[in-house]
């Protein structure tokens, strides 16, 4: 059967900004409408404050053109999966989603790694038409579960791909998982397209980077970006993500029309970055992963 992921758009509208109080409510509905009009997929979660309600309201005026959705579901045990999915479907006003993003913690991660009952529940959600497919979220601290499941062959036929932060400052699949994904040619969805903001701001504006390691990484990456001759950070980041042939799409957020247009323009006929730039950033990311990401406590980076 054809996987939902094959229909994905190369840019996915991330919806965190739709839940942020600093964005006036009418502006949130307006930007959601613009993203719908652009025909791109959406990525959302109950965790993004009232983003689901903004989406639900906007979808009411768009019967027939509701965007394709990736929704986060999880977290700690199998029985939670369906409940979390329902908590999303209701406010969104939809009966099904294209991709469930499996967020693995606690017993659920163990079950997933060991080929347990969660796979029956994934199939049931598919058979009932609630979810068309699944991608597995990977963080440095949760990559082990995906790696084990992938190596054991449990993901075959039920998991459509893997989703994690992939931008010039972050590659949050562990090195081992990243290598395994490539060895097995698994589809990837990258998140946080521009790593939260322009690299020079992340480097130079005190407090702009929410965590000091990102400021330090911006110091390392800014000269590589400058060397590329590309003027726009968004364009550089979109090209970075799409330089990896397994990458299907990159998820970036915005509350502004001009920034949405920039994401969309950058994903039209996207070119990969030159090989030397990709190799340079990849080498740095392997090192960051071993020396820092894998040592970090869950949720701290
Ligand atoms: N575990 C997870 O599943 C997970 C975790 C994190 C993120 N995500 C997904 O990924 C999406 C994106 O992540 P993110 O929002 O953390 O990072 P991001 O998309 O890299 O950055 C978004 C930020 O950049 C700003 N921005 C966008 N375009 C810009 C431009 N051209 N110039 C200057 N600023 C610009 C936005 O502000 P403006 O509103 O002012 O444009 C916003 O503050 C989220 O919405 C979510 O869907 C998922």
pLDDT band for 83, please (50, 70, 90 cuts): very high
Give the pLDDT of residue 96: 97
Q: What is the mean pLDDT of residues 281-291?
A: 98
Residue 94 contacts by C-beta under 8 Å, 6 or more apart in sequence? 59, 66, 69
In the numeric block, the tokens 């698994």 are attached to 186
Q: Ligand 1 centre and the CA of 252: distance in Å?
A: 5
Atom 7 of ligand 1, nearest CA residue = 192
> Six-digit token pair at 118?
């969660």
CA atoms within a 13 Å half-sphere pointing along the CA-CB vector of 139: 15
3-state DSSP assignment of residue 189: strand
Ligand 1 pocket, 43 CB below 6 A? yes
Instruction: Give the chain's mean pLDDT.
Output: 97
75 prior amide bond cis, ω within 30: yes
Instruction: Return the best residue to mutate from 8, 12, 13, 14 for the ligand 1 pocket (most ligand atoms within 8 A of CB).
Output: 14
Ligand 1 mean position to 43 CA, how many Å?
11
* C-beta of 191 in contact with ligand 1 (< 6 A): yes
CA–CA dist 106, 129 (Å, integer):
27
Nearest CA to ligand 1 atom 25: 197
3 pLDDT more than 80: yes
Ligand 1 and 19: CB distance under 6 A: no
Query: Got the DSSP string for 208-225?
Result: TSSSHHHHHHHHHHHHHH
CB 157 within 8 A of CB 119: no
104 forms beta bridges with 75
Contact between residue 110 and residue 75 where contact means Cβ atoms under 8 Å apart: no
Kindly report, residue by residue over 122-146, the tens digit of the pLDDT. Answer: 999 999 999 999 999 999 999 999 9
The values of phi and psi at residue 239, to 5°, are: -65, -40
Cβ 253 under 6 angstroms from ligand 1: yes
Structural domains for the chain: 7-197+234-278 (3.20.20.100)
pLDDT in tens, 174-199: 999 999 999 999 999 999 999 999 99
pLDDT digits (tens, 9 = 90+) for 227-245: 999 999 999 999 999 999 9
Residue 1: what pLDDT?
Answer: 60
Whether residue 228 has a cis bond before it, omega within 30° of 0: no
pLDDT at 2 over 90: no
Q: Is the pLDDT of residue 98 over 80?
A: yes
Q: Could you please report the per-residue DSSP string of 231-250?
A: --HHHHHHHHHTTSTTEEEE
């Amino acid at each position: 059967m054809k996987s939902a992921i094959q229909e994905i758009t190369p840019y996915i509208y991330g919806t965190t900004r739709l839940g942020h109080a600093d964005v006036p409510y009418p502006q949130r509905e307006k930007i959601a409408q613009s993203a719908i009009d652009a025909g791109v997929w959406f990525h959302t979660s109950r965790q993004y404050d009232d983003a689901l309600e903004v989406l639900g309201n906007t979808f009411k005026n768009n019967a027939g053109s509701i965007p394709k959705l990736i929704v986060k579901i999880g977290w700690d045990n199998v029985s939670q999966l369906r409940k979390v999915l329902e908590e999303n479907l209701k406010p969104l006003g939809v009966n099904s989603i294209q991709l469930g993003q499996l967020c693995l913690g606690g017993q659920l991660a163990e079950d997933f790694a060991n080929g347990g009952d969660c796979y029956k529940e994934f199939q049931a959600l598919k058979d009932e038409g609630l979810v068309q497919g699944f991608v597995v979220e990977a963080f440095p601290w949760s990559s082990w579960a995906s790696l084990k499941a992938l190596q054991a062959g449990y993901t075959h036929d039920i998991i459509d791909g893997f989703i994690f932060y992939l931008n010039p400052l972050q590659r949050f699949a562990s090195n081992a998982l990243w290598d395994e994904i490539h060895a097995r040619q698994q589809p990837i969805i990258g998140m946080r397209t521009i790593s939260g903001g322009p690299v020079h701001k992340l480097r130079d504006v005190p407090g702009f980077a929410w965590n000091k390691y990102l400021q330090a990484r911006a110091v390392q990456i800014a000269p590589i970006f400058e060397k590329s001759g590309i003027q726009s950070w968004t364009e550089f980041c979109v090209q970075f993500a799409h330089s990896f042939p397994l990458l299907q799409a990159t998820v970036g957020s915005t509350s502004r029309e001009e920034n949405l247009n920039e994401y969309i323009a950058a994903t039209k006929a996207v070119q990969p970055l030159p090989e030397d730039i990709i190799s340079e950033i990849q080498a740095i990311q392997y090192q960051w992963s071993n020396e820092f990401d894998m040592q970090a406590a869950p949720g701290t980076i």
